[in-house]
Amino acid sequence: MGNESVVNSDFFISKLADAKVTFERALDCKHTEFDDLYPYMLEHPQFFWYKRYVAWSELLTIAGLCEELNIAWRQEFSPQQVGYIQQRVMSAKVLDFWFEKNDSKEHAQR
């Protein structure tokens, strides 16, 4: 017997999609699960920065796991977003340009 393991790629892609939505909601200062964990923090200005950082970390972690497990994850993102994820640093550029068109129908519906 080898060290073979069965990986459910649909599970990881689903988790990646969830993390993407959470990050995008954090960028838009919309409600996420994180708000429920720390409701007393809502009044602190740094809360939104921290919330974005946590969501970004989750997104990077799941994308990294997909990469290690050879699960195709890049098609879930635009080429620009893939570049941001590969750079791993949540810079002002990521915050400002994650949504290629901030007035897009998809962005408005989130």
> What residue segments make up the domains of the chain, in order of their start?
9-109
CA atoms within 13 A on the CB side of 12: 19
Give the pLDDT band (50/70/90) at residue 37. confident
pLDDT band at 42 (very low <50, low <70, confident <90, very high): confident
pTM (2 decimals)? 0.82
Token couple for 60: 């990077």
- Residue 48: the pLDDT is 86
Question: Is the pLDDT higher at 103 or at 9?
Answer: 9
Q: Compute the mean pLDDT over every residue in the chain, rounded to the nearest whole number.
A: 86
Q: How far apart are CA 78 and CA 43, in angstroms?
A: 34
Amino acid 25: pLDDT: 95
Mean pLDDT of 15-38: 93
